[in-house]
C-alpha cells in the first residue's frame, strides 16, 4: 500500500474514532460533520482499485470502523430516546399549565 493510501486509511480510522467521541459527548452536529468528512474520504479511497496485498489491511480497518460505528449508533439511539423522554415531559408540563390556565379563569 502506498503512503498516500496508508494516510487515507489512518485518517478514516481517526475520523471514526472522532465520531464515537463526539457521540459520547452528545455533540450530534459534530458527529454529522465528521461523518460527512469520512464519507468524502471513503469515496476517494475506493475510487482506486484495491491491490490484492492491500486487502487484509483494508479489511481490518473496515472491521474496526464498523465496530466504532456500532458503538456510536447505540449512543445515538440512546440520545434519541432521552430527547423523546424530555419532549414528553415538556408536553405533559405544558398540558398542566394549560389546564391550570383554563381552570383559573
What's the pLDDT tens digit per position in 9-44? Answer: 999 999 999 999 999 999 988 999 999 999 999 999
- Domains present along the chain, CATH in parentheses: 3-103 (1.20.58.380)
Contact 19, 38 (CB under 8 A): yes
Residue 1 has pLDDT above 90, yes or no: no
Alpha helices in the chain (DSSP H): 3-24, 28-47, 55-103
Residue found by looking up cell 457521540 in the block = 23
Please answer whether residues 61 and 17 qualify as being in contact, where contact means their C-beta atoms are separated by less than 8 angstroms.
Answer: no
- pLDDT band at 95, cuts 50/70/90? low
For residues 21 and 26, what is the distance between their CA atoms, to the nearest angstrom? 9
**pTM score, whole prediction:** 0.78
- Among residues 3, 37, 5, which one has the least CA distance to residue 18? 37
Amino acid at each position: 500500500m502506498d503512503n498516500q493510501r496508508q494516510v487515507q486509511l489512518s485518517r478514516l480510522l481517526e475520523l471514526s474514532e472522532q465520531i464515537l467521541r463526539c457521540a459520547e459527548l452528545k455533540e450530534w452536529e459534530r458527529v454529522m460533520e465528521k461523518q460527512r468528512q469520512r464519507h468524502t474520504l471513503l469515496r476517494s479511497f475506493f475510487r482506486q482499485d484495491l491491490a490484492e496485498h492491500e486487502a487484509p489491511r483494508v479489511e481490518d480497518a473496515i472491521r474496526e470502523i464498523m465496530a466504532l460505528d456500532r458503538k456510536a449508533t447505540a449512543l445515538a439511539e440512546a440520545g434519541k430516546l432521552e430527547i423523546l423522554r424530555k419532549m414528553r415531559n415538556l408536553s405533559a408540563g405544558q398540558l398542566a399549565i394549560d389546564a391550570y390556565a383554563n381552570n383559573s379563569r
